[in-house]
Structure 1
């Protein structure tokens, strides 16, 4: 089983969440590859090579997708992920009236291309605090449980 963690991060908060999730999945003896959009060589069509996908993003401004994920989002429309298990996570900012809506938008796109979103979205306010680390680890463990069942 090969899991991809694909994420966009501007301040490092979503990257930190991705690292916590990656470490937990790795500790459960599941093969995992983390790829940062706009830094690593990743295209939307590459997701078909993985058995399962975790997608992380922050929300920009008043609920928008981050600039670096917009093309990825558009390209996903032409990818068939039928049967792929997916979960979504990201950092959010409670200062804004729209809390983590980029995560919601990405989740809807994954559903529209056949993916099975298997967990509730994990939304962390800004950088993960100690209690958020546990939430991230529990999220990763629940995702692996969904893969095994």
Structure 2
């Protein structure tokens, strides 16, 4: 059974809510999900190597910036090889800003640079998830599990 790490950073609780929906959906498939809140728990970039798959969630600060509490994690990713890892990114965004969900895109590029084998589409939710967003989060999780199964074959 593939171990999945779900990492997220949340300021208002919106990205945390998205992470919980995704975790529940993936756990329903019998996968082991280890969830960590990056701004609250001591997790290192090298811990990613212990997992086959990575779900990464972040909010976007200001006009497309990564949150300050993720800057060190982002920089530390320079030192890691993620070849063969299945990665998907998600987060809460604010459509008021022109760079909608820019931090998600920035981290997606970093994961690609570090060799992640497959990066799914990025799930971007405008602020707090509504009923339609919950369905999108569940579909995102389903797509992630499907992609993980393809790589397991």
| Category of TM-score, reference length = shorter chain | over 0.9
CA contact (8 A) 1:118 1:146 kept: no
CA contact (8 A) 1:118 1:143 kept: no
Aligned to 1:68: 69
Aligned to 2:15: 14
Aligned to 1:101: 102
Aligned to 2:33: 32
Distance in 2 (CA, whole Å) between partners of 1:131 and 1:53 is: 24
With 113-122 and 46-55 compared, the bigger mean Cα shift is at 113-122
The Cα of 1:97 is off from its aligned counterpart by 1.2
The Cα of 1:98 is off from its aligned counterpart by 1.0
The Cα of 1:113 is off from its aligned counterpart by 0.4
Superposition RMSD in Å: 0.7
Distance in 2 (CA, whole Å) between partners of 1:118 and 1:62 is: 23
Superposition TM-score, scaled by structure 2 size: 0.96
Cα deviation code 1:65-120 (max 9, x no counterpart): 00111110000110111010000000000011110010000000000000023311
Distance in 2 (CA, whole Å) between partners of 1:3 and 1:24 is: 13
Superposition TM-score, scaled by structure 1 size: 0.98
Aligned to 2:46: 45
Q: State the 4+ residue runs in structure 1 displaced beyond 6 angstroms.
A: none
Task: Give unmatched runs, 5+ long, in structure 1.
Answer: none
CA contact (8 A) 2:93 2:100 kept: yes
